[in-house]
Amino acid sequence: MSPALVEGSACRLSLPTGGEAAAAFAALKGLRGEYQAPAFRHVSRMDLLHMRGLQALDALQAGCGHREIAEAVFGADATAGRWHADSDLRAQVRHILSRATDLMAGGYLRLAGVRPG
């Protein structure tokens, strides 16, 4: 949009046809203040594992240690109460990091059937 466009002034807007029309129409409704949040989508266990894996990889690549990763993924309170030498939380962090590292190193391609396992 042009920065010279003043609120309330007329303008011409072209919407695409086909698959992108719905997204463009939703954006137009948002500009008019008619935006509605999308309906709640159920978060599966796999979605949660992927999210935690990405968080853990980001933290690892930023130089964080396993305890710091646990705090970022599970929260400071949970980590303070459950972090010790043989805790399930430490095992979960190691598992999440191992799984995410494997997926990053080509595991997604094996899951999709693009690369042989």
The pLDDT tens digits for 30-67 are 777 776 767 777 888 888 888 899 899 999 999 999 99
> Which residue has better confidence, 71 or 111?
71
3-state percent helix, strand, coil for the chain, nearest multiple of 5:
60, 0, 40
Q: 10 Å Cβ neighbour count for 96?
A: 22
Domain ranges of the chain: 45-111
CA–CA dist 7, 73 (Å, integer): 43
In this predicted structure, what is the pLDDT of residue 1? 61
Let me know: does 67 contact 97? Beta carbons within 8 Å. no
Task: Measure the CA–CA gap between 103 and 94, rounded to whole angstroms.
Answer: 14
**Cα 85 versus chain centre, distance:** 30
pTM tops 0.85, yes or no: no
* Length of the chain counted residue by residue: 117
- Does residue 102 have a pLDDT over 80? yes
